[in-house]
Amino acid sequence: MRARRFRSLLTLSIVFCAMLHAEDGSQAWLRYAQPSPNPTAAVHREIPAVIVNLDPSLVAASAETEIRRGVRSMLGRTLRVETKIPSEDAWVLGTTDELREPFPNYHAPSLGPEGFALTVLTEHGHHRWLIVGADPRGILYGSFHTLSGIARGESFASMAGADSPAAPIRWVNQWDNLDGTIERGYAGPSIFFDNGSVRTHLTRAGEFARLLASVGINGCTINNVNADPHLLQPEMIRAVARVADAFRPWGVRLSLSVAINSPQAIGGLDTFDPGDAKVAAWWRDKVDEIYAAIPDFAGFVVKADSEGEPGPSRYGRTPADAANMLAAALRPHGGVVLYRAFVYNHHLDWSDPKADRARASYDIFHPLDGQFAGNVIVQIKNGPIDFQVREPVSPLFAGLPKTNEAVELQVTQEYMGQQRHLVFLPTQWKTYLDFDVRADNRSTPLKDIVDGKTFHRPLGGYVGVANVGLDTNWLAHPLAMANLYGFARLAWNPNTSSETIARDWSRLSFSNNEKVVSTITHMLLSSWPIYEDYTGPLGLQTLTNITGPHYGPAPQSQENNGWGQWIRADRNGVGMDRTVETGTGFIGQYPSQVVQMFTSLKTCPDNLLLFMHHVPYTYRLRTGKTIIQTIYDLHYQGADDAAGLVQQWQTLHRLIDYDRYNQTLTLLEYQAGHAIVWRDAVNRWFAKISGIPDDNGRIDHDPNRITASQMQRDGYTPVDVTPWESATDGKAWVCKDRAACTATAHLDRSAGAYDIAVQYFDFRQGASTFQLLLNHKQIARWTANNMLPGQAPNGDTSTRYTLHGVPLRPGDVLTIEGHPDDTEPAPIDYIEIVPQPAAPATKRHP
Ligand code: GCW
């Protein structure tokens, strides 16, 4: 009796530990946790005990090792390796060709390159679990697919079928610099480079390749598109070959971003003119040298004539001239050139009503259609500007019917909250991939164009800017890896739904518990619309600080500069007129049916209205509400919904591991606070520029707030904040030349429990400490060391500390005490005291 109770206790604690043991996110979706509910004895019995791999390649060897690893971890079974098909049940791995002889009765379905088939074959009473690849990569992808199914509790028989990737190019780009920094990377230093060269230890590079391969990615460009010519020095090529070695077992081919001026910068030539024979010869030799070190080298990515990078225009040459010169050097080795269409003039003339950055790619590349070599792919960002919260599909996709095309999507959340905000991007990407550009007046969704179907192109596909870093969990926010996973799933099959992606990822990354899966799925699916609402709705673009870190709110920064992310907001109206008749003519770059749709105010979707049209603030949308009131309301809605994400996450307490639960909770609470900063800044800015107040009188009339200017201060002095709208009355209160300063409020709240939030500014450098005192007794203390991207009080650095459930009585005295550190003067803005329970935030249904 006692023994049994002990045993069941033991079982319970094992189950509990298995469920909640410490997790650090390093394994991402390859955790290989025991499927829960636990696999039944039947599943255990069903798994063959032997594995036979008929393919001699390195990649298939990885597949075999991976299956053994996954089965051991998930099911506690150690598979026996055999070289011949045994007279018992067995897993068998091989290509279609390799399976023909041992299994003459098996007829493999027709597979595209890198595709796989899974099937159970029964002969002489023995079950063969066949993982059949069109080639070694297919075997690897089929193996990972099987393991993912087991992790989600599926049986092998239910996975039977065949699958092939939609397109041959399924790459990620990393924007890593040789010094180990990453441009627009938010998760620590480079996994490849450090201090001017390739890292000594490349364990993470190998682990990254394994993660990529597990979801079908077959190429990785390891350095910044703003490329350093030194990367092509002989010693660097030798060093980079070590990264290719780490990738190779996973079928991930390495590629490099190259600077088009390399022949001059490092090659000793006096020119980099693509029309010059010496230059072409230099590239040929360089490419030969690369292939000698990296025989499976994938090719080059090129950013030229863009944002200050040198380019062929220096010599009056076109992107096609430059691309074709590189392509000629790569062709004999089977390499390709991905030439980026992100070419534009960033010194546009704001005073010119016809000037429009959105036009640039089409204006430059469309006339070159048909001129690009067969191994050139034009790599086009999804939208015509730059990874904004919402843009239309780039019209260039329909404008290159005789050219290979790839879509470039951004996994790293440059304009999307930089992995401090939860934004699940597959939902956004689907709107692009599914958008029907109506080339030749027929159904031509973007996904069909990049898959090569529409224009019958042999090459094309998907490129995702990943920017993982050395952070243990790769992308910093525990939920951000859903974006890398989702990118890969869509690159493999763009018809996969966002919901399938979100559910699969949640199961693999967290748990099979339905409550966990449905909650995380719901949060993911609603997160992009929420972010859009509290940043830049109605096609305004993100409205972030575009001359700074692209993070916090700064609507004015869009305007009056050469960058061309203009929204042209003035006293009377807002939006870029991009019509043919009265505007920049951008809309005219689309096929005619899309031109009609965007041109008419009646048919232009509301969520792109201000991208396409300039309208008065009083213009009424289909909802009957004016533009200006819609802007205000959506910002309130978005901030409320961001608070709702916190509440949803809290329902998972104890259902997922402690570390990731807490890390995510902290980030979501930060996001909810920053959503309020966004809401207030954008609404204040529009209220001022339009002169039209909010119908509900909310802007800067917050009954729960006490601003620092209303408090009794000792030492705190005001400074102007730029942009003004990111703090109350355009001022922050700083503690300069003193060890400590205080701001005190005499409260007159009725007795009850309250949440007290302190809105302050946290610079990258310096770690000020703050104390909150109630009736002179400390009730909280924290340090401002969240490393926000800025060194001044503004929308990038404004953040809050919240203390929940503080009992207050009339006559209480509340004091903030700030202790500056380094160059950070313990800056504050206001306190907000909200009675508990806070009004429940509306739940949004995606
Ligand atoms: O989104 C912008 C970024 C730049 C980036 C550029 C590009 C690598 O702000 O940091 O440069 O796009 O895509 O080339």
Structure tokens at 705: 């707030």
User: Does 465 contact ligand 1 (Cβ within 6 A)?
Assistant: no
Residue 498 and residue 697: Cα distance in Å, rounded?
38
C-alpha separations of 394 from 377, 436, 604 in Å: 16, 12, 16
Q: For residue 704, is pLDDT > 90?
A: yes
Across the range 383-404, mean pLDDT stands at 98
Structure tokens at 588: 């005219």
Instruction: Give the model's pLDDT for residue 9.
Output: 40
Closest Cα to atom 13 of ligand 1: 342
Q: For residue 844, is pLDDT > 80?
A: no
Across the range 783-799, mean pLDDT stands at 96
User: Does 309 contact ligand 1 (Cβ within 6 A)?
Assistant: no
Please count the other Cβ atoms lying within 10 Å of the Cβ belonging to residue 291.
17
Measured in degrees and rounded to the nearest 5, phi and psi for residue 669 equal: -65, -40
User: Does 386 contact ligand 1 (Cβ within 6 A)?
Assistant: yes
User: Does 764 contact ligand 1 (Cβ within 6 A)?
Assistant: no
| Banded model confidence at residue 837, pLDDT cuts 50, 70, 90 | confident
Per-residue pLDDT tens for 555-598? 999 999 999 999 999 999 999 999 999 999 999 999 999 999 99
User: Does 181 contact ligand 1 (Cβ within 6 A)?
Assistant: no
Distance 225 CA to ligand 1 centre (A): 8
Instruction: Give the model's pLDDT for residue 41.
Output: 57
State what percent of residues in the chain have pLDDT above 90.
Answer: 93
**Which atom of ligand 1 is the closest one to the Cα of 183?**
10
**Which atom of ligand 1 is the closest one to the Cα of 306?**
14
Residue 219 and residue 437: Cα distance in Å, rounded?
28
Across the range 726-734, mean pLDDT stands at 98
Per-residue pLDDT tens for 446-472? 999 999 999 999 999 999 999 999 999
Instruction: Give the model's pLDDT for residue 20.
Output: 56
Residue 23 and residue 25: Cα distance in Å, rounded?
6
Instruction: Give the model's pLDDT for residue 5.
Output: 39
Burial code (b: 16+ CB inside 10 Å, e: under 16) for 320-341 equals bbbbbbbbbbbbebebbbbbbb
Q: For residue 388, is pLDDT > 70?
A: yes
Distance 143 CA to ligand 1 centre (A): 36
Q: For residue 10, is pLDDT > 60?
A: no
Q: For residue 846, is pLDDT > 50?
A: no
User: Does 387 contact ligand 1 (Cβ within 6 A)?
Assistant: yes
Q: For residue 602, is pLDDT > 90?
A: yes
Instruction: Give the model's pLDDT for residue 562.
Output: 96
User: Does 342 contact ligand 1 (Cβ within 6 A)?
Assistant: yes
Q: For residue 744, is pLDDT > 90?
A: yes
Instruction: Give the model's pLDDT for residue 18.
Output: 45
What amino acid positions are annotated as catalytic residues?
307, 386, 414
Distance 244 CA to ligand 1 centre (A): 25
Distance 786 CA to ligand 1 centre (A): 25
Residue 332 and residue 470: Cα distance in Å, rounded?
36
Residue 180 and residue 610: Cα distance in Å, rounded?
39
* CA atoms lying within 13 Å on the CB side of residue 740: 10
Residue 534 and residue 632: Cα distance in Å, rounded?
9
Give the mean pLDDT of the chain. Answer: 95
Sequence-separated contacts (24+) of 84-89 with Cβ below 8 Å: 84/52, 85/52, 85/128, 86/50, 86/52, 87/124, 87/126, 88/48, 88/49, 88/50, 88/126, 89/48, 89/49, 89/50, 89/126, 89/127, 89/128, 89/129
Q: For residue 36, is pLDDT > 80?
A: no
Of 130, 155, 159, whose CA–CA distance to 46 is shortest?
Answer: 155
- The answer to whether 403 and 324 are in contact (CB under 8 A) is no
- The answer to whether 319 and 357 are in contact (CB under 8 A) is no
Distance 652 CA to ligand 1 centre (A): 37
Per-residue pLDDT tens for 296-344? 999 999 999 999 999 999 999 999 999 999 999 999 999 999 999 999 9
| Cis peptide bond N-terminal to 549, omega within 30 | no
Best residue among 224, 343, 344, 414 to mutate for probing ligand 1's pocket (most ligand atoms within 8 Å of CB) is: 414
Best residue among 174, 183, 413, 465 to mutate for probing ligand 1's pocket (most ligand atoms within 8 Å of CB) is: 183
Instruction: Give the model's pLDDT for residue 188.
Output: 98
Measured in degrees and rounded to the nearest 5, phi and psi for residue 454 equal: -60, -50
**What are residue 553's DSSP bridge partners?**
544
Closest Cα to atom 11 of ligand 1: 226
User: Does 303 contact ligand 1 (Cβ within 6 A)?
Assistant: yes
Per-residue pLDDT tens for 236-251? 999 999 999 999 999 9
* DSSP 8-state assignment for residue 845: P
Instruction: Give the model's pLDDT for residue 34.
Output: 87
Instruction: Give the model's pLDDT for residue 600.
Output: 98
Residue 783 and residue 790: Cα distance in Å, rounded?
16
E strand spans, 467-579: 573-574
Distance 486 CA to ligand 1 centre (A): 21
* DSSP 8-state assignment for residue 397: G
Across the range 814-826, mean pLDDT stands at 97
**What are residue 162's DSSP bridge partners?**
117
Q: DSSP letters along 281-320, please?
A: HHHHHHHHHHHHH-TT--EEEE--SSTT---GGGGT--HH
Instruction: Give the model's pLDDT for residue 74.
Output: 95
Instruction: Give the model's pLDDT for residue 776.
Output: 97
User: Does 341 contact ligand 1 (Cβ within 6 A)?
Assistant: no
**Which atom of ligand 1 is the closest one to the Cα of 226?**
8
Distance 417 CA to ligand 1 centre (A): 16
Q: For residue 13, is pLDDT > 60?
A: no
Q: For residue 742, is pLDDT > 70?
A: yes
User: Does 346 contact ligand 1 (Cβ within 6 A)?
Assistant: no
Distance 281 CA to ligand 1 centre (A): 30
As to burial, measured by CB atoms within 10 angstroms (0-12 exposed, 13-18 middle, 19+ buried), residue 319 is buried
Instruction: Give the model's pLDDT for residue 111.
Output: 97
Closest Cα to atom 12 of ligand 1: 386
